[in-house]
Structure 1
Amino acid sequence: MSGTSRRRLLSAAVAAALLVPLAACGDDGGDSPSVDSTKPVELSIFWWGGDARAKLTEDALALYTKKHPNVTFKKTWQANQGYFEKLATLTAGNEAPDIFQIDDNYLTEYASRNVTLDLTSYQKSGKLDTTKFPESLWKYGVVDDKLAGVAFGENTQGLVYNRTKLEAANQPLPTQGMSWEDYIAWAEKATTATKVPGTQDPSADYKAFWVWLRQQNKDLYKGKELGFAAEDVVKWFDLWKGARDRKATPTADVIREGNATDVTKQLVVTGKALASWVWVNQLPELQKNTKDQLGVMPYPGDPKAQWARASMYFSVYRGSDKKDVAVDVINFLANDPEAGKVLGTDRGLPSNLDIRSAVQASVTDPAMKTSIDVENTIGKTFGPSPQVPLKGHSTLRSELTKAAESVQAGKATPQQAADTFIAAVKTAISK
C-alpha cells in the first residue's frame, strides 16, 4: 500500500473513531473498582514496539500483578506500522483498551474528542505522582488544560555525527551552540576534507524546523493555529538551498533517501553524509549500524529552544469502567523502582528522575551512556515545552517533506512550496 493510501486509511479510521458520540465514552462508564479491592479485575493494555519492548512491558506488568494478585492484563502489542489504524478502529467500536500507548502526533486528536481520560484530578490527589518528573515533561501531556497522557520517557532532538571520519581528516567536530550559518560553513569544509557531504539536509525534517522556529521566537503551533507563516518556511528552505549550492549536503536523490524514518537508512550510518538529524535516544541503534564511532549534540543555535519531549505516553480510555486501577497501573510503571529497572530506557529516559539515576548507573552500553549523558546535559538548558501538536500534525509532517523535496528537486521555488505547504496544513488543522 502506498504512503498516500495509508495516510488516507488512517485519516478515515481516526475520523471514524473520534466521531463516536461522547455519550458512548461518558465520564463514569460504570463503577470503577477500587485499587485495594480484592475483586478480580482484568485490564486491557495496548502498545506498539518490538519483541524486546513487549518482553520488558510484560515483565513490568507481572510485577504489578504480583503486588495486586486480583489484577491481570489482556496484553496486545504490534509494530508501529498500523498501530494507530488499529487504535482508531478499536475506539470507533467502543472497544478501546483501558490503557494505551500514544505519541504527540495523535494525543491532541484523541484528547480533543474526550477519548482520553483527564488525569488532572489523580495528579492533584497524588494518586498519579509526577513530582519527580521534569515539569516541562509532564506538561507536554496537557491538552486544553487537561492532562491527557503520562510521559513515558524523555527525549530530545539530536544531531548525530561521524566522529571517526572527521578525526581521520583532522576536521573539528561540530560544537554545541554554533549558529546554523556556522554549522553549514563547518559542513562545507568537512565535505571538502572528507569527500563525504558534511550534513544531511533537514529542510524536510519537522524536528529541525521546529527547533529553528523556536529560536526565532516562534513555534510550530500557537493555540488552535499555526505559530509561523509562509515567510518563515521560505527562510528555512532558502537556508538549505544555500547549503546545497555550497555542496555542504548530498544531492536531492540522496537527501530523499535519508528522509526515511528508519534508523538504518540515516545517512550518517549509510556513509552518505557526516551528520543526521535524529532523536538523542536513537544513538545506540544508529551505532549498531556502523563501525565508525558516532557522537551526538544538540541542534545548532540556542539549545534553550529544545525541550523535554515525551517520547510517548500512556493514556487511559475515558470510557473504561476500571479507571482507578488503570491510573494506578500507570503510576506504578512510571514510579516504582523495580518496574523502572525492568523497563529501562526502551521508551526513552525514565520520566521519574530518581529512577532515571538508578537506571543510568546500571547501563553498560557506551552509546546508551553517551545518549543519556547528552540528554541530561541538554536538559540543564531546556526551555519550556511547547503545546502538544494540534490534530493534523501528521499532515504537517508529510506536507513539509513533500514541499521540501519539491524544492530540493528544483520542481518548485521556496515560495511556491511554502504557499502550498501552508494551505494544506491550515486545511488539516481546521477540520
Structure 2
Amino acid sequence: MPFPSPSPVANEPPGPNSAHVSARVPVPGGRSTAGGPAGGRLRRRLGAALLVVVTALAAGCTGEEAAPRDNSAKISVFWWGGDRRAELTKQALEVYTKRYPHVTFKFTHQGNAGYFDRLSIEAAAGNAPDIFQIDDNYLTEYAQREILLDLTDYVRTDVLDLRKLPAGLAQSSQVTGRTVAAAAAENTPGLIYNKSLLDRLDIPEPTIGMSYQEYLAWAEQVSERSDGDVFGTMDPSADYKALWLWLRSQDKELYRGRQVGFTENDLTRWFELWAGARQRGAAPPASVTQPANSGDVTKQLVTSGQAATSFVWSNQLPELQKLTKDQLGVVSYPGDPAAHWARASLYWAAYRGTRHPDTVVHVIDFLVNDAVAGEILGTERGLSANLDVRRAVEASLTDESMKKSVDFETTMTEKFGSAPVPPPKGHATIKQLLIQVAEDVQFGRASPRAAAASFINQANAALTS
C-alpha cells in the first residue's frame, strides 16, 4: 500500500512536483533544503516522516489509506456520459466523502457533444475542473498545452498506484515519457456477431485469429446461405480502429510521430480489400453501410439485421444486446490478435492549476484502485483498469452479455501486443477524414488510389498544423 502524500500548504501554488519535494527526507549528515545545519531539523523531519509511516500503516489495517489533510477541500469533477454514468460516478465519490468528510465534490456532467469545447474554454480561462474525464482523442493535445497535472512523481512514489494495471494500460497514460492521466477503464476492439443467426444458418461462429481472407470467405458464405437477406460482414473501411489493427498486424502503426505511419499503397490496399468484399456480396453496398460509419451503437448492422457482424468496441456488447432478441457474441478483429492492445477507454486527469494537487491525486487513485468504487462503477466506462478490482467486479456480474464482454477481455489479455503511444494532436480530425474518403470509395465517387492519396496529403497537413 502506498504511503499518503503530505498535505499541501494552504494556498501554495501547485507545481507538478511540489507535492513530493516536501516528502523527501534528507540523508543523515546532509544539509537541510535551506542550506543550514541538518542536526535538530533532521531529527524533527525524521520524526515527522515516521509519523506519516505509522499513520499510513494504521490506515492500512482498516483497508483504507489516509487522505491528505487538506482542510475542507471541495473538488470539482467533470465528465461526459449519460444519466447512468452520472449516477454511478456520484455514488462512488460519495463513498470517498464518507471516508474523508473534509473532502466534498462539485459534480458536472454533460453529453459528449461540446464537452471538449467547454473544457478548453474553461482551461484557457484558468478555471478548469480539478478532475476531469478525457480520452485518447485529446490526451496528447491537452498534455502539450500544459493543461494536465504531471503525475509522474506521484506514480514513481506509488501515491498514484498503477502497479495493478496491465503494463500497456499504464503506459498508455504517458505522453513524451510523463504520466499525465490514469486509465479509468479498459477496452479493446471487438467483432460482435449474431450467434442466433449463425445457428439458424448452420454456420460456425468466427474465431480469434482468423485471417482477413478466411474471414471474408466466411462472410460470403453467410450472405449466400441467407439468400442475400443478411450480409456476412459490416464494411469497416471508414473505421480508424479497424484500419489501425490491420496495419498493426503488418507491423505498422496508424501514426509515426506527427505523421501517419503508413503509405498511400497501404491505404489503397485497405480500400481495395473492402471494395472486393462489396463486389463479392460479403459486405453491403454504401447506402446500407453509411449510417453505421459514425460508430453510433444504435445504427450498427449486427442489430438492425442487415449484417452478421459489426466492428465496434468489445465493451459495447451489452448495449448492442439490448437492441436485438438474437444472442450476440464477440471475438477479436480478423488478423493477428496481438495487433490488439489493452486500451484505456477513458482516463481521469487532473488540472495543472488545481489548488489541491495531493487530494486530487488521492481521489483519482481511489477511483482507479478502490474495490468499493470499482463495484459501484462496474463496467459503465469499460472493464476496471485495476486487475484485482476487475476480478471482484466480474464475480458480481449477473448480466450474461456483460459476462461475455469480460470473458473476451480476459482471454485477450494474454494475447495483447504492446500499446502504441497515445495518438497525436489532430487525431479526432483524422478519424473524420477517414470516414469522408472511405465513403467516397464506397459510393464510387473516388477510386481507392485517389482516395488514399487525398487522405495522406490532408492527414499529414492536419497533423503538422
Give the Cα–Cα distance (whole angstroms) in 2 for the partners of residues 197 and 343 of structure 1: 37
Give the Cα–Cα distance (whole angstroms) in 1 for the partners of residues 85 and 171 of structure 2: 25
Residues 31 and 321 in structure 1, CA contact (< 8 A), matched pair in contact too: no
Give the Cα–Cα distance (whole angstroms) in 1 for the partners of residues 300 and 373 of structure 2: 33
Give the Cα–Cα distance (whole angstroms) in 1 for the partners of residues 187 and 155 of structure 2: 22
Residue matched to 1:407: 441
Give the Cα–Cα distance (whole angstroms) in 1 for the partners of residues 197 and 19 of structure 2: 62
Q: How far 1:372 sits from its partner (Å)?
A: 0.2
Give the Cα–Cα distance (whole angstroms) in 1 for the partners of residues 413 and 433 of structure 2: 30
Residues 158 and 298 in structure 1, CA contact (< 8 A), matched pair in contact too: yes
Q: How far 1:31 sits from its partner (Å)?
A: 8.9
Q: What letter is aligned with 1:40? A: S
Q: What letter is aligned with 1:27? A: G
Q: What letter is aligned with 2:384? A: P
Q: How far 1:239 sits from its partner (Å)?
A: 0.6
Which deviations, in whole Å up to 9, do the C-alpha atoms of 1:1-58 show, x marking residues without a partner? Answer: xxxxxxxxxxxxxxxxxxxxxxxx9736999999432511111110011111111100
Q: How far 1:260 sits from its partner (Å)?
A: 2.8
Give the Cα–Cα distance (whole angstroms) in 2 for the partners of residues 336 and 275 of structure 1: 36
Q: Percent identity?
A: 51
Give the Cα–Cα distance (whole angstroms) in 2 for the partners of residues 241 and 403 of structure 1: 13
1:149 to 172, 181, 195: 181
If the length of structure 2 is used for normalisation, what is the TM-score?
Answer: 0.85
Residue matched to 2:308: 274
Residue matched to 1:63: 95
Residue matched to 1:387: 421
Residue matched to 1:346: 380
If the length of structure 1 is used for normalisation, what is the TM-score?
Answer: 0.92
Q: What letter is aligned with 1:425? A: A
Give the Cα–Cα distance (whole angstroms) in 2 for the partners of residues 258 and 63 of structure 1: 39
SS in 2 for 1:210: helix
Which deviations, in whole Å up to 9, do the C-alpha atoms of 1:380-401 show, x marking residues without a partner? Answer: 1000001100000011100100
1:67–1:140 Cα change, 3 Å: same
Q: Does structure 1 residue 27 correspond to structure 2 residue 15?
A: yes
Instruction: Give the paired residue count.
Output: 407
Which deviations, in whole Å up to 9, do the C-alpha atoms of 1:187-228 show, x marking residues without a partner? Answer: 111100012111110000001000000001100112232211
Q: What letter is aligned with 1:372? A: V
Q: What letter is aligned with 1:428? A: A
Structure label with greater radius of gyration: 2
Matches within 5 A, 1:26-105: 27=15, 35-37=67-69, 39-105=71-137
Give the Cα–Cα distance (whole angstroms) in 1 for the partners of residues 18 and 205 of structure 2: 59
Which deviations, in whole Å up to 9, do the C-alpha atoms of 1:288-345 show, x marking residues without a partner? Answer: 0001111110001110010000000000111111111100000011111111111111
Q: What letter is aligned with 1:199? A: T
Give the Cα–Cα distance (whole angstroms) in 2 for the partners of residues 29 and 61 of structure 1: 26
Matches within 5 A, 1:24-423: 27=15, 35-37=67-69, 39-194=71-226, 195=228, 196-423=230-457
SS in 2 for 1:73: strand
Range with greater deviation from structure 2 (360-369 or 190-199):
190-199
Range with greater deviation from structure 2 (280-289 or 160-169):
160-169
Q: How far 1:261 sits from its partner (Å)?
A: 2.0
Give the Cα–Cα distance (whole angstroms) in 2 for the partners of residues 91 and 111 of structure 1: 12
Q: What letter is aligned with 2:348? A: F
Q: What letter is aligned with 2:402? A: M
Q: How far 1:160 sits from its partner (Å)?
A: 0.5
Which deviations, in whole Å up to 9, do the C-alpha atoms of 1:205-264 show, x marking residues without a partner? Answer: 001000000001100112232211111110100111111110111111111112132211
1:163–1:31 Cα change, 3 Å: closer
Give the Cα–Cα distance (whole angstroms) in 2 for the partners of residues 31 and 268 of structure 1: 50
SS in 1 for 2:190: strand
Residues 19 and 358 in structure 2, CA contact (< 8 A), matched pair in contact too: no
Give the Cα–Cα distance (whole angstroms) in 2 for the partners of residues 165 and 335 of structure 1: 40
Which deviations, in whole Å up to 9, do the C-alpha atoms of 1:49-107 show, x marking residues without a partner? Answer: 11111111001111111111111111100111221111111112111101000000000
1:40–1:29 Cα change, 3 Å: farther
Q: What letter is aligned with 2:398? A: T
Q: What letter is aligned with 1:43? A: I
Give the Cα–Cα distance (whole angstroms) in 2 for the partners of residues 315 and 28 of structure 1: 13
- Which runs of 5 or more structure 1 residues have no equivalent in the other structure? 1-24
Give the Cα–Cα distance (whole angstroms) in 2 for the partners of residues 347 and 135 of structure 1: 19
Q: How far 1:171 sits from its partner (Å)?
A: 1.3
Residue matched to 2:45: none
Q: How far 1:119 sits from its partner (Å)?
A: 0.7
Residue matched to 1:18: none
Which deviations, in whole Å up to 9, do the C-alpha atoms of 1:264-302 show, x marking residues without a partner? Answer: 110000111110000000000000000111111000111
SS in 1 for 2:384: coil
SS in 2 for 1:152: strand
Give the Cα–Cα distance (whole angstroms) in 1 for the partners of residues 215 and 254 of structure 2: 23
Residues 28 and 319 in structure 1, CA contact (< 8 A), matched pair in contact too: no
1:29–1:386 Cα change, 3 Å: closer
Q: What letter is aligned with 2:335? A: G
RMSD between aligned residues: 1.7
Give the Cα–Cα distance (whole angstroms) in 1 for the partners of residues 18 and 414 of structure 2: 44
Residues 30 and 321 in structure 1, CA contact (< 8 A), matched pair in contact too: no
SS in 2 for 1:167: helix
Residues 128 and 351 in structure 2, CA contact (< 8 A), matched pair in contact too: yes
1:72–1:190 Cα change, 3 Å: same
